[in-house]
Structure 1
Amino acid sequence: MGKRVLVLNGPNLNMLGIREPGIYGAQTLADIENLCRTTGTELGLTVDFRQTNHEGELVTWIQQARQTADAILINPAAYSHTSVAIHDALKAAGVLTYEVHLSNIHQREPFRHHSYVSAVATAVICGLGASGYSLALRALAEKL
């Protein structure tokens, strides 16, 4: 079995393909999941792909990652800018973490310019659309 990567997606990402395609693109979350699974297989990684609209569920999954994952790839979505709880959970988990965003958060509204997750992530990829997930998995595979 390869290294295990937990790919976590936050609120509203289940609406990809419908919600603001000019910002987030036309790909659906299922398309991104397929991309992650294909990339993971190519790299010898086991990908566990999840999405939730609930902050507490993300925190629980992050806490569980101590025993179940070698790395976390997270798109916390709007929780990037608001969640000290996710920041604290990632810090406590002690698992290699990369953060990814479909859009360039630094070119958007000022409230999106700060991410609590970035402070505890080893790397951040933003603004590359769905391909950012694939690039992040490649970088994680090298690091692992």
Structure 2
Amino acid sequence: MHNILVLNGPNLNLLGTRQPEVYGRETLAMVEQRCVEHGHSIGLSVRCEQSNHEGALLDALHGARGVYAGVILNAGAYTHTSIALMDAIFSIELPVVEVHLSNIHAREDFRHRSYLSRAALGQICGFGAQGYIMALDALRAHLDEDNAG
């Protein structure tokens, strides 16, 4: 069974109450529970973490190397500002799927740029909490392809 880290960034601890018209009504605990359950159903062991601090997210990414087979990352606003997170994704040499609840390309101009997408395996945005499930499925398929080849 592959270990997967689901890592959430700033303000995601406020899910369900912060701008529900944009981010939905599910709480972070609900999203994390869905991830754990779906992961188990497809043969993945999922651990979830959240931090509002860029350095803590960097530490979590660095710590993932050698422990996890892949990472699902919703870096929140750091997506659009953090070269450090991009560099960390390149450095850990793990498949990372970038997830956003909203469609960042249909929002304010500053949200259109993702520094993380240069380093990520792929990006899923605009599907709400279902995006995490899609990311788990995509990561599972990617890991299966790697193991087959």
TM above 0.5, yes or no, is yes
Q: Give the alignment of 1:67-106 within 5 angstroms.
A: 67-106=66-105
Distance 1:139 1:43 in 2: 11
Equivalent residue, structure 2, for 1:8: 7
Distance 1:14 1:66 in 2: 24
Equivalent residue, structure 2, for 1:121: 120
Over residues 85-108 of structure 1, what are the superposed CA-to-partner deviations in whole Å (9 max), with x where a residue is unaligned?
A: 100011000001100000000011
Q: Secondary structure at the match of 2:66?
A: helix
Q: Secondary structure at the match of 1:68?
A: coil
Q: How many residues align?
A: 143
Cα displacement (A) at 1:49: 0.4
Q: Secondary structure at the match of 1:128?
A: coil
Distance 1:120 1:108 in 2: 22
Q: Secondary structure at the match of 1:67?
A: coil
2:45 is aligned with what amino acid? T
Distance 1:30 1:65 in 2: 21
Equivalent residue, structure 2, for 1:64: 63
1:75 is aligned with what amino acid? N
Q: Secondary structure at the match of 2:120?
A: coil
2:49 is aligned with what amino acid? R
2:94 is aligned with what amino acid? V
Cα displacement (A) at 1:65: 1.0
Distance 2:142 2:86 in 1: 21
Cα displacement (A) at 1:64: 1.1
Identity %, equivalent residues: 49
Distance 2:87 2:122 in 1: 17
Distance 2:5 2:51 in 1: 13
Q: Secondary structure at the match of 1:143?
A: helix
Equivalent residue, structure 2, for 1:26: 25
Runs in 1 of length 4+ with deviation above 2 angstroms? Answer: none
Distance 2:4 2:48 in 1: 8
Cα displacement (A) at 1:68: 1.0
Q: Secondary structure at the match of 1:118?
A: helix
Structure 1 portions without partners, runs of 5+:
none
Superposed CA RMSD in Å reads: 0.5
